[in-house]
């Protein structure tokens, strides 16, 4: 039952992916490094270079691999997907070339699970085909981690709904053909039962972008993370996804697998940083010998490898838990999957920050410069710590699930591992066999 090998056919696919990413996609990363560049459907590089590469991915049967076969994916399960994402994580453009980029992959999952036949034809098909990109809008300016503070609201009006309120950090809005927005429809019940999901097509009157926000280092006012305002924005009733009040359940559909994909992509980036670190310390000399002869430098390399390997096993184990829960439908497996996903999400930023910091540092001034990708990769650490829910919130989930079956000690003062208490019990248990010898211990 215990086997860490990858089956040879799939390994051959992964080898193809690794070569393809390095030879065909990484040059695009260097020429078009903007975070928004992959999402621009009108650009020459997308139409003339990326489209033909996407066709090659389709020929390999690897297009949108996260989806089930009924939607054109491979239905390969999270462990295999993890191994694929580990390679894709090395490149900014690779997820787009393979049809697995966020937030479209999650939005496609929502539409596949909850969309009507009409919604699927209008939004899912072009999304899966890579002809359009989309946005997911849940966070609000006054708080994202606590949905209890959301106020953006939709009210039923005749044959439609009217939305008023604001959303914040809605990624890729400037290029999106539609927005999936989570909005309060019943303020009288907790948000988990009172929110709903709507599809709001681009150009719907009343939906505007107040400004685009970028990440640090990008020009102010030009970012792709939309600060959106809805003012009497009317959408027809058929734009509701699922039933009213099911927004939260729908949101959970999209986040689980994505967190593991981000974790494996992070491992891919850390491996790349470690390769750079290894090359650097083997090539650079100090005091007449390679940097790699210095003990602290060797430890930085070893610590990075150990951390990556530990985390990789954790993520693949979490992926296996998810596959088990899907296969069996067992509530215990589902709970285990949830626990493992949140644990992975909480641990991901630390790996990136630690490993890439070492790589930056060992490259000296070159490492902190804009002539290597390392500082930009490092910035991904804090981003991973808040996007998709802050680390603290995920640790809370882990603790809550761990405490669910916790049983208070019979002796609340000293607990069940108290040695004098256990010694007395052991003496009593073995007195019949050991006689006085038991009492003398």
Ligand X SMILES: Cc1cc2nc3c(=O)[nH]c(=O)nc-3n(C[C@H](O)[C@H](O)[C@H](O)COP(=O)(O)OP(=O)(O)OC[C@H]3O[C@@H](n4cnc5c(N)ncnc54)[C@H](O)[C@@H]3O)c2cc1C
Interface residue list for ligand X (CB under 6 A) = 103, 136-139, 143-146, 169-171, 225, 383, 386-390, 392-393, 396
Residue number with CB closer to ligand X (73 or 389): 389
Residues in the chain: 441
Q: Which residue is nearest to ligand X (CB)?
A: 144
Residue number with CB closer to ligand X (101 or 325): 101
Report whether 237 contacts 216 (CB < 8 A).
no
In eight-state DSSP terms, residue 50 is: I
Question: Smallest distance, Å, CB 243 to ligand X?
Answer: 21
Question: Smallest distance, Å, CB 180 to ligand X?
Answer: 9
Question: Smallest distance, Å, CB 382 to ligand X?
Answer: 8
Question: Smallest distance, Å, CB 415 to ligand X?
Answer: 28
Gyration radius of the chain over CA positions: 26
Residue number with CB closer to ligand X (82 or 389): 389
CA dist list (Å): 244 to 213, 238, 326:
31, 12, 26
H-only helix segments in 240-330:
247-283, 295-328
Q: Is the dihedral of CA 381, 111, 127, 204 positive or negative?
A: negative
Question: Smallest distance, Å, CB 276 to ligand X?
Answer: 24
DSSP string, 343-375: HHHHHHHHHHHHHHHHHHHHTHHHHHSTTSSHH
Question: Smallest distance, Å, CB 102 to ligand X?
Answer: 8
- Phi and psi for 79 in degrees, rounded to 5? -65, -50
Both structure tokens of 318? 């979490």
Gap between the Cα atoms of 314 and 213, Å rounded: 34
Both structure tokens of 125? 């098909």
Report whether 30 contacts 87 (CB < 8 A).
no
Report whether 197 contacts 114 (CB < 8 A).
yes
Question: Smallest distance, Å, CB 408 to ligand X?
Answer: 25
Report the Cα 101 to chain-centroid distance in Å. 11
Gap between the Cα atoms of 299 and 174, Å rounded: 45
CA dist list (Å): 387 to 129, 138, 254:
26, 12, 14
Question: Smallest distance, Å, CB 159 to ligand X?
Answer: 28
Residue 427: burial class (beta carbons within 10 Å; 0-12, 13-18, 19+): middle
Residue number with CB closer to ligand X (68 or 190): 190
Gap between the Cα atoms of 138 and 151, Å rounded: 11
**CA triplet 105, 110, 116: central angle to 5 degrees?**
130
Q: Residue 133's beta-bridge partner residues?
A: 176
Question: Smallest distance, Å, CB 104 to ligand X?
Answer: 11
Question: Smallest distance, Å, CB 184 to ligand X?
Answer: 14
Residue number with CB closer to ligand X (139 or 246): 139
In our burial notation (b when 16+ CB lie closer than 10 A, e otherwise), range 390-401 reads: bbebbeebbeeb
Residue number with CB closer to ligand X (403 or 407): 403
Residue number with CB closer to ligand X (101 or 324): 101
Report whether 166 contacts 141 (CB < 8 A).
yes
Question: Smallest distance, Å, CB 254 to ligand X?
Answer: 10
Report whether 237 contacts 159 (CB < 8 A).
yes
């Amino acid at each position: 039952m215990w086997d860490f090998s990858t089956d040879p056919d799939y390994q051959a696919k992964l080898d193809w992916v690794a070569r393809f990413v390095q030879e065909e996609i990484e040059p695009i990363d260097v020429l078009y490094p903007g975070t928004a560049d992959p999402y621009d459907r009108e650009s020459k590089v997308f139409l003339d270079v990326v489209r033909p590469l996407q066709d090659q991915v389709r020929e390999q049967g690897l297009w949108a691999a996260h989806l089930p076969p009924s939607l054109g994916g491979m239905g390969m399960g999270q462990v295999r997907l993890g191994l694929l994402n580990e390679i894709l994580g090395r490149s900014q453009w690779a997820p787009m070339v393979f049809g697995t980029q966020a937030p479209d992959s999650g939005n496609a999952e929502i539409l596949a699970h909850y969309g009507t036949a009409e919604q699927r034809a209008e939004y899912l098909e072009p999304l899966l085909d890579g002809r359009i990109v989309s946005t997911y809008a849940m966070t609000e300016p006054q708080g994202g981690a606590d949905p209890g503070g959301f106020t953006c609201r939709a009210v039923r009006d005749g044959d439609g709904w009217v939305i008023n309120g604001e959303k914040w950090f809605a990624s890729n809005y400037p290029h999106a053909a539609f927005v999936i927005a989570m909005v309060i429809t019943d303020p009288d019940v907790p948000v988990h039962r009172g929110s709903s999901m709507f599809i709001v097509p681009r150009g719907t009157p009343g939906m505007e972008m107040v400004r685009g926000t970028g990440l640090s280092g990008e020009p102010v006012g030009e970012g792709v993370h939309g600060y959106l305002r809805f003012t009497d924005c009317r959408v027809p009733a058929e734009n509701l996804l699922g039933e009213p009040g099911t927004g939260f359940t729908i949101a959970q559909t999209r986040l689980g697998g994505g967190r593991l994909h981000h974790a494996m992509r992070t491992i891919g980036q850390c491996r790349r940083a470690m390769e750079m670190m290894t090359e650097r310390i083997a090539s650079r000399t100090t005091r007449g010998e390679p940097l790699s002869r210095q003990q602290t430098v060797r430890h930085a390399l070893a610590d990075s490898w150990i951390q990556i390997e530990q985390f990789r096993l954790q993520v693949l184990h979490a992926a296996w838990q998810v596959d088990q829960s899907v296969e069996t439908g067992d509530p215990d497996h589902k709970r285990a999957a949830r626990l493992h996903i949140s644990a992975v999400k909480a641990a991901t930023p630390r790996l990136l920050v630690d490993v890439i910091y070492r790589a930056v540092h060992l490259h000296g001034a070159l490492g902190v410069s804009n002539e290597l990708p390392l500082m930009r990769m490092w910035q991904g650490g804090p981003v991973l710590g808040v996007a998709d829910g802050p680390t603290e919130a995920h640790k809370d989930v882990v603790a809550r699930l761990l405490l669910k079956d916790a049983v208070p000690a019979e002796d609340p003062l000293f607990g069940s591992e108290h040695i004098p208490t256990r010694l007395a019990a052991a003496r009593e248990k073995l007195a019949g066999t050991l006689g006085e010898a038991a009492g003398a211990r």
